[in-house]
Amino acid sequence: MIPQGTAARTVLARGGAVWMVIAVAETVHGVLRNRFLVPVVGQHRAGQIGVIVGSLIILVVAWLSIRWIGAGRKAQLLGVGGLWLVLMLAFEVGLGRALGISWDRIVSAYDLTQGGLMLIGMGVLFLAPLLAARLRQVGWHSR
């Protein structure tokens, strides 16, 4: 039997690898959104549409990978979601600042009162492992 510490590290390592897939998919999605959607509907509306499409991308990747990640308990699934959330926030803010995007614009993307939907997208990202496990009938709910 694998000791709990080793199993937990494996779950987090695999969760981190899946996050990299999500980050690449979201980056490609962002490039395509800026290239094709922004000229048609504008930056703000494209960002809103992008959160919806991006959330679907995240859910699909989570659904495809949840068995491989190996998280079977609710706490593990939320741990993977928390890992994804922290990594994505660091990536989004870091990339945004590296590209010269102002703090005001970054923060406004998360402000629901200004029409920013990134907070919802990050909520989906956090809950995606749990939702995927439920949809794939993996882990905590089936025991």
For 37-71, the pLDDT digits (tens) are 999 999 999 999 999 999 999 999 999 999 999 99
Ramachandran area for residue 115 (φ above 0: left; ψ -120 to 50: alpha; else beta)? left
Number of CB atoms found within 10 A of residue 45's CB: 13
Give the list of residues 6+ apart from residue 97 with CB closer than 8 angstroms, or none: 103, 106
Q: Quick check: 3 pLDDT over 80?
A: no
Q: Quick check: 143 pLDDT over 50?
A: no
pLDDT digits (tens, 9 = 90+) for 65-124: 999 999 989 999 999 999 999 999 999 999 999 999 999 999 999 999 999 999 999 999
pLDDT, mean over the chain: 93
* Higher pLDDT pick, 68 / 141: 68
The domain locations on the chain are 4-137
3-state secondary structure of 7: helix
pLDDT at 4: 64
> How far apart, in Å, are the Cα atoms of 91 and each of 42, 96, 103?
23, 8, 14
Q: Which ranges of the chain would DSSP assign to H, the alpha helix? A: 4-32, 38-41, 43-69, 74-98, 103-108, 118-136
Q: Quick check: 2 pLDDT over 70?
A: no
pLDDT at 139: 65
pLDDT at 128: 98
